[in-house]
Structure 1
Amino acid sequence: METKKNYYIPVVRKFWYCHVFAFLWFLFSVFISLPWIKELGQVIGIIPSIIIIAGIAYLPGYLNAFLVFSLFFDNQPKFKVHDPTEPVSIFISCKNEEKGISDTIRHIAKQDYKGDMNIIVIDNASTDLTSSVALKAGQEYNLDLKVIYEEKPGKNFALNRALAMVDTPLIITLDADTILTKPAVRLLVSRLLSAPNEICAVAGSVLVRNSRKNFWTRIQEWDYFLGIASIKRLQGFYQGTLVAQGAFSLYKREALEKLGGWDDAIGEDIVLTWQMLQINCKVYFEPLAVAFTDVPETLVHFVRQRSRWARGMIEAFKRVKPWNQPSIFTKYLTGTNLIFPYLDVVYTFVWIPGLILAIFGYYYIVGATILFVLPLALLTNYTMYHYQRKVFDRLGLKIRKNIFGFFAYVLTYQMFMSPISVLGYAQEFLQLKRVWK
């Protein structure tokens, strides 16, 4: 009996289907917001009202609708290579990480990867015992580990120093406060070796390890678990993951050398990824290759990290223009980042003040009409949760109970993120001193 074949829809067609669905949602949003436009227009004028509402509802709604429909279409390709043995070098760039480096190395030793792993710890001007602790851990766990030194502060200098010393075809970057699940290296390499030749990098899935610490880590857990992971899955679906993050990603050495390594930038991983995409080196995302990292535990450190991310995006724009990207996918994916400063400015200087006005009974910005966005918000978060839960089920992991963090994430997270991002944009515009950590 002949088996019925599944109907195949090309990715480019799915891309346009998702835009059609998102545009229909956009039209629906415009229709239901007409009373809102009229009411706000009586106060500030119709054109300013449309500009503001576009930043609050229309554009975010379009992007979220595109994300949801893309996730429905996404079907991760099956591995062609299951047990790779390709030699790989693991770069761990660190500064003053003596407390956590041993744990990171211990989890490398637990990997089920069958190939040779060459671990290089780059001590970037530490003033503590990072180097000696790393060497001791390497000996204790019987690993091929060496420590090198880079006195010039900056992660790019540290990574480039290690790049010049290795000849393995594959390189993984790993943060010193990040631990790997047992199959993480194997799955990351399997994804790359199972992919077409033009795939030059694969981003791993980085989630939160210290989520139980306090309010800040609890809401970040959901950002990594739902927001960041789903956005990367969307981008990977269109073969254009925009950040092969330095915390845990795999690269082909030849692609790194072709680009001259990592640029001197505060967002060196963002710039590198966009440069790869520009030379038609596509970037995948592997949701099953999971690592857990420590996120900022205080507001001050959270602000520093996220403003640095926003600043890194602007750096990437200066070096690589979206319209110079070779494919329609990467043109769109990088191009959507152009509107983020506008969205963040509107949210910071209009939405948040509008929320405060609503408390006192003035509903020009925030009113009953905004409740219409809640169904899409709930659908978006449910879709993202559905996909992430399947990942955890396959890995035998359990999702931590963090209901308070979830509602805090849904209801308040953007109120922190947009002002912090605006700060990052301003820092780059004013060319203020860059701070790595």
Structure 2
Amino acid sequence: MVANAHPYGGPIPENYWRNRERRKKLRFAIAMLFALAWVVLSIWLSMPWLADLGALTHPILALVVLTFIAYVPGFMNAFLLVSLVLRPDAQRRTPQHWPSISVLVAAYNEEELIGDTLLSLSALEYPGELEIIVLDDGSQDGTTAVVQSCESLFAALPSRILRPVRREQNSGKAGVLNHGLELASHELVVTIDADTLLEPGCLTAMIERLEASPPGTVAIAGTVLVGNAFKSWITKAQQWDYFHGIAAVKRMQGMYDGTLVAQGAFSLYQRSALLEVGGWPDMVGEDIVLTWDLLNRDYCVGHAEDAIAWTMAPTTFRELAQQRKRWARGMIEALALHGSLLKKRRLSTMFIWWNLLFVSIDLAFTLAFIPGIILALFGIFWLAGPVTLLVLPIAALWNLVIYRIQMRMLKRQNIRMKRSVWGFVLFAFVYPLLMQPVSVWGYFAEFTGGKKQWNS
């Protein structure tokens, strides 16, 4: 008996989806039990620390601090670890015919990079037709001229259509993407940033991931890695953030059909779903809010772990701080608009709660743990001491697991990625101490009604 079929593939037996759902729930239950057991162990190990801190301050304050710098992060790390260990193989299914795709490239003052981006688009090994709409959002440099000079790249490719579109006035990222959505000819829409380089097989992997996804899947987030990792120390650290942290979280969320961010830098969407939610909202975190809107309508959002694109990461701390501040503000925007997701009866609802708890975690680390580290340097171990290493060793384990997973994935695709050892040291020991205060800055800006603009 056939219950569900994807529009581009053949029918899928009804029991396939039932078995898939059972396996998903079993993985979730195992990960949950392990995470809860880890929290119990963490509490037991930290009792002396809790008692000492409570005597120095107040028992309730001590419990709050340890909850958000040890117990809750420990639970998250443990759940993440087990989910990664139990992960299924990359879910892919070849369609009976390859659908046409409209690719939206939002660009503003990108004359230095847009040429390389279009070159990567011309080299895509995708069997279907591609409509590439380059949306120049009122650039003041030579972006339009570079796009026009690249038209020859597509002239001999009958299944590739390049459509340069220029707006005289800048309307912002959401505005220009919505304009592109109006112009798109196909049901499937892929968005990429103008500084994003695509691996040749990435769209094939993305479509095959969509075909293997449950009915109701309307978006697939691709895998974004850092393409300019050796530009500065800041990019060296970000290489590992994308390769480890962001990749691990997206893999975990994708396992439970609830990826929380289909990032604008590289994601695929059903055009009809985008029109249903009114396109991208004019907000700081337009891709976050859009994704949560889709989830709030009971759609699924997946993740294609082997659909790889390379982004040009911020090269200075100031640029990185502005970016992460925007991400933090976007999360608060999404919570404010779609807080009802916290009441949804689905496995991925837990990740919405995690995002809510990140506010308290970042505050605890910024106001308690970081000052505690400074005190520890002077031999005062009130807030950070040797027992901290006993409470949170699980982070080292999931980093090892995701490293092995990611390296095997790159090897399967014959992709070589030069890695910075010192960048990993910076990512592991310094990066969080810098980024969590930045997130607090973003929360404060959002709660106090700070000006909303792309570089705010």
> Are the structure 2 counterparts of residues 202 and 137 from structure 1 closer, same or farther at C-alpha, using a change threshold of 3 Å?
same
Q: Which residue of 2 aligns with 1:240?
A: 258
Q: 1:266 is paired with a residue of what secondary structure?
A: coil
CA distance in 1, matches of 2:433, 2:311: 24
Q: Deviation string for 1:227-258 (max 9, x for gaps)?
A: 00110000000000000000000001111111
Q: 2:108 aligns with which of 87, 95, 98?
A: 95
2:192–2:266: 8 Å Cα contact kept in structure 1?
yes
Deviation at 1:225, TM superposition (A): 0.1
- 1:146 corresponds to 2:159: no
Q: Deviations over 1:313-363 (max 9, x none)?
A: 000011101545644223211121111111001101111111111111111
Please name the residue that 1:287 is paired with: 305
Unmatched 5+ stretches in structure 2: 1-18
Change in CA separation of 1:215 and 1:323 when aligned onto 2, cut-off 3 Å: same
Change beyond 3 A, Cα 1:368–1:419: same
Following superposition of structure 1 onto structure 2, how do residues 5-154 of structure 1 map, counting pairs within 5 Å? 10-76=23-89, 78-81=91-94, 84-142=97-155, 143-150=160-167, 151-154=169-172
When residues 77 and 219 of structure 1 are mapped into structure 2, their CA distance, relative to the original with a 3 A threshold, is: closer
Q: How many pairs were matched up?
A: 431
- CA deviations on 1:271-293 (whole Å, 9 max, x unpaired) are 11011111111011011100000
Q: Distance in 2 between matches of 1:358 and 1:149?
A: 56
How far the C-alpha of 1:82 sits from its partner, in A, is 5.8
Equivalent-residue separation in structure 2 for 1:414 and 1:401 (angstroms): 19
- Find out whether 1:352 has 2:365 as its counterpart: no
Partner in structure 2 of residue 315 of structure 1? 333
The DSSP-based 3-state class of the residue aligned with 2:453 is coil
Q: Return the TM-score normalized by structure 2.
A: 0.92
Q: Compute the RMSD of aligned alpha carbons.
A: 1.5
Q: d(CA) in 1 for partners of 2:374 and 2:340?
A: 37
Tell me the distance in 2 between the aligned counterparts of 1:100 and 1:23.
47
Counterpart-to-counterpart distance in 2, 1:254 and 1:419? 39
Provide the rounded CA distance (Å) in 1 between the counterparts of 2:206 and 2:303. 9
Task: Confirm or deny: 8 A CA contact 1:91 1:121 kept in the other structure.
Answer: yes
Residue 165 (structure 1) shift: 1.3
- Does structure 1 residue 410 correspond to structure 2 residue 428? yes
Aligned counterpart, 1:173: 191
Q: 1:235 to 1:84 in 2, by over 3 A?
A: farther
Instruction: Write the distance in 1 (CA, Å) between the matches of 2:304 and 2:391.
Output: 30
CA contact (8 A) 1:57 1:373 kept: yes
Cα deviation digits, residues 352-409 of structure 1 (max 9, x gap): 1111111111110111101214531210110111111111111111242311111111
Q: Give the counterpart letter for 1:243 in structure 2.
A: V
Partner SS, residue 90 of structure 1: strand
1:134 Cα deviation from its structure 2 partner: 1.1
CA distance in 2, matches of 1:76, 1:278: 27
1:359-370 aligned within 5 A: 359-370=377-388
CA positional deviation for 1:83: 7.8
- Partner AA of 1:303 in structure 2: A
Alignment partner of 2:393: what SS? helix
SS in 2 for 1:201: strand
| Structure 2 Cα separation of the partners of residues 191 and 131 of structure 1 | 34
Please name the residue that 1:391 is paired with.
Answer: 409
Tell me the amino acid that sits aligned with residue 442 of structure 2: G
C-alpha separation in 2, matches of 1:93 and 1:376: 40
> Could you tell me how far 1:120 is from its partner in structure 2?
0.6
* d(CA) in 1 for partners of 2:308, 2:394: 28
The 3-state SS of whatever aligns with 1:167 is coil
Paired AA for residue 255 in structure 2: F
Alignment of 1:253-264 (within 5 A): 253-264=271-282
Give the structure-1-normalised TM-score. 0.95
1:241 maps to amino acid:
T
Residue 4 (structure 1) aligns with:
none
> Contact between 2:46 and 2:391, CA under 8 Å: does it hold in 1?
no
Verify the 8 A CA contact 1:308 1:424 in the aligned structure 2.
yes
The one-letter code sitting in structure 1 at the alignment partner of 2:143 is T
Q: Secondary structure at the match of 1:104?
A: helix
Does the alignment pair 1:267 with 2:294? no
CA contact (8 A) 2:154 2:161 kept: no
Shift of 1:183: 0.1
One-letter amino acid matched to 1:144: I
User: Partner residue of 1:3?
Assistant: none
Q: Distance in 1 between matches of 2:55 and 2:212?
A: 58
How big is the shift at 1:77?
Answer: 5.1
Q: Which moved more, 1:24-33 or 1:191-200?
A: 191-200
Cα distance between partner residues in 2 of 1:409 and 1:342: 22
